[in-house]
Amino acid sequence: MAVSVVRYLALLMFCALLQYHYATAQNKTLRDLFNSTSCAKPPYICPHPQIEFYLYTRETQKDPLLLDIRDFNSLWNSKFDKTHPTKIIIHGFGGGRNLAPSTDLRDGKMVISVTTFLYCFNCYI
């Protein structure tokens, strides 16, 4: 009997804490949802300046061109050729433009590699 009372009180305490957590979570603001101090720096806008787009062509395999997607002239003045097929590589968590398979996929092709440091920021949705 004593064990079941202790279990009941523990369950009751757990439910109270859970209810308190959900009640306080519902009172959060939209700004609290984007509290990403551990990964993203302001401004909290898309496209974020920390998301980098590198253009690889046959000529720029060793030294890719950094494209500024907020500036249309960046792509216009680059070596991008719209007549060639283009691959866009977006690496996953822990990946990078200088790691496999990104390096294998861009060999001699027109490739735009997307590098993001914002693992918990949702610009890539």
CA distance 93 to 119: 7
Q: Where are the domains of the chain?
A: 39-115
State residue 18's pLDDT score.
58
Residue with tokens 């898309």: 46
Which of the listed ranges 10-14, 23-27, 60-64, 91-95 does the model predict with the highest average pLDDT? 60-64
SS3 readout for the chain: CHHHHHHHHHHHHHHHHHHHHHHHHHCCCHHHHCCCCCCCCCCCCCCCCCCEEEEECCCCCCCCEEECCCCHHHHHCCCCCCCCCEEEEECCCCCCCCCCCHHHHCCCCEEEEEECCCCCCCCCC
For 62-76, write each residue's pLDDT tens digit: 898 999 888 889 888
For a pLDDT cut of 90, what percent of the chain falls above it?
2
The Cα–Cα gap between 10 and 68 comes to: 56
pTM of the model: 0.59
Give the mean model confidence (pLDDT) for residues 108-112: 80
If you average pLDDT over residues 26-39, what whole number do you get? 58
pLDDT higher for 62 or 105? 62
